[in-house]
Amino acid sequence: MPPAPFQVRIARDIAKIDAAQWDACANPPGLDEQAGAGGRFNPFISHAFLRALEQSGSVGGRSGWAPMHVLVEDEKGRLVAAAPAYAKSHSQGEYVFDHGWAQAYAQAGGRYYPKIQVAVPFTPATGRRLLVARDAPAGARAALIAGLRGLCQAINASSIHVTFANAEDCAALEEAGFSLRTGEQFHFANPGYRDFEEFLAALSSRKRKNIRRERKDALSEGVSVEWVTGAALKREHWDAFFAFYMDTGSRKWGQPYLTRDFFDRVGASMADRILLVMAKRAGRYIAGAINFIGDDALYGRNWGAIEEHPFLHFEVCYYQAIDFAIQRGLRRVEAGAQGEHKLARGYRPAPTYSLHDFADQRLGEAVAEYLTRERVAVEETIALYEEHAPFRKG
């Protein structure tokens, strides 16, 4: 039979896309829980999360993230594949750094921006990027990739960047001619621990003692910790957390990406998928971390504090996340980008992947050559980290 006919179009406002149809592509029911990182329900590619980003002004407008979602519809007009895509005028908020490529291309007389970013803005969490419905006709994924390249050509973009892609998307994009890039993060893997103490028992004696000491010191001076999720999330929690977020963001990168309205919107639409870990002292909140809950993983995102306490960051962001994941039976905790210090706290190195495609063949060949060397270095680094993992040998 000939391939099914498809219509490819661009949506500049996700609110105009039917939420049920988008979610049927983004998080189709029945995915195998063994599918790996981002395999089952991933909150970040849900319609609700992406809509909150857009309607809160966190993306769009002058943010440098212009939504241009690529949609593939079948002959009946049903959405069968989609990609969360943005035209970018800079390289901020991506966590896969290509500033050197942009500079080199500009020095050679090229124009690097705009570029197409297929990603969840400000979110370094692996997941599906080519969102294809389980019952999509044959060829839907290929039509989606062709649609991305068509968009790149239509807006005269230099390149397409698909960041934090899962294994299935990596394979499809590499086959289509995209270049693979490897990075690393640190994830906690839960093989089925009964509780936090059983996790500690798996560590070497020295690391186990260090973690117990850090947890004790973090909660000294009258500090307590609360888990807030679902209907318990109130405006007072968001007000406190946003103050933490703004303080940390302004000190680290100048202008925080997410608006106050984003947290209200995502809290209203995804409360059961959110965990706030909040630290309190003397009757007021002093620190907090926001996490999103998938079917398989807890995703740690943002943290902040208005008081300095030894090891409080580790307690709120890492140890509490491990404890929650064990209690919920989640398979892993993804604690965000970077952070060698996570290794000593029970997190192990894990590879991440992105795919890159360039309109200028010369730039594409130069980047591909660089990525070949970089992959070897990253693999060696991951192996070295694994040698220093804090778990008992054997």
Counting every residue written for the chain, the total comes to: 394
Q: Which amino acid is at 85?
A: A
Q: Can 7-184+350-387 and 191-330 be said to share one CATH topology? A: yes
DSSP letter at 27? S
Crossing angle of helices 167-175 and 140-154, in 10° steps, is: 70
Q: What is the pLDDT of residue 172?
A: 98
Using the predicted structure, report yes or no on whether residue 36 has a pLDDT greater than 50: no
Q: Please, are residues 370 and 195 in contact by the beta-carbon 8 Å criterion?
A: no
Per residue in 186-201, pLDDT (tens digit) is: 999 999 999 999 999 9
pTM of the model: 0.94
147-170 mean pLDDT: 98
Query: DSSP readout, 278-321?
Result: EEEETTEEEEEEEEEE-SSEEEEEEEEESS--TTHHHIIIIIHH
Query: Span 80-96, mean pLDDT?
Result: 97
**Tens digit of each residue's pLDDT (9 = 90 or more) over 259-301:** 999 999 999 999 999 999 999 999 999 999 999 999 999 999 9
Give the domain ranges of the chain: 7-184+350-387, 191-330
**Which residue type sits at 24?**
A
Give the pLDDT score at 270.
Answer: 98
Q: What is the pLDDT of residue 329?
A: 97
List, for residues 345-371, the tens digit of each pLDDT value: 999 999 999 999 999 999 999 999 999
Dist CA 167 CA 295 (whole Å):
18
Residue with tokens 């599918």: 35
Cis ω for the linkage preceding 114 (within 30 of 0)? yes
What integer best gives the mean pLDDT of the chain? 94
Q: What percent of the chain shows pLDDT beyond 90? A: 90
User: The CATH number of 7-184+350-387 is which of 3.40.630.30, 3.20.20.210, 3.30.70.1520, 3.20.20.70?
Assistant: 3.40.630.30
Q: Would you say domain 191-330 falls under CATH 3.40.630.30?
A: yes
Residue 206 pLDDT class (50, 70, 90 cuts): very high
DSSP-derived secondary structure for 170-237: HHHHHHTTPEEEEEEEEEEE-S--SSHHHHHHTB-HHHHHHHHHHHHHHT-TT-EEEEEEGGG--HHH
Can you give the pLDDT at residue 339?
82
What does the alpha-carbon distance between residue 233 and residue 236 come to, in Å, rounded to a whole number? 8
SS3 38: coil
**Which pLDDT score is estimated for 254?**
56
Top-confidence residue, 294 or 32: 294
> DSSP secondary-structure letter at 114?
S
pLDDT bucket at 145, cuts 50 / 70 / 90 = very high
Largest distance between two CA atoms of the chain: 71
Q: Would you say residue 37 has pLDDT above 70?
A: no
Residue 24 confidence (pLDDT) above 70: yes
- pLDDT of res. 194: 98
Residue 105 has pLDDT above 70, yes or no: yes
* pLDDT band with cut points at 50, 70 and 90 for residue 34: very low
Question: Residue 43 — very low, low, confident or very high, per pLDDT cuts 50/70/90?
Answer: very high
Specify the residue for token string 């050679």. Answer: 108
- Interatomic CA distance for residues 322 and 275, integer angstroms: 13
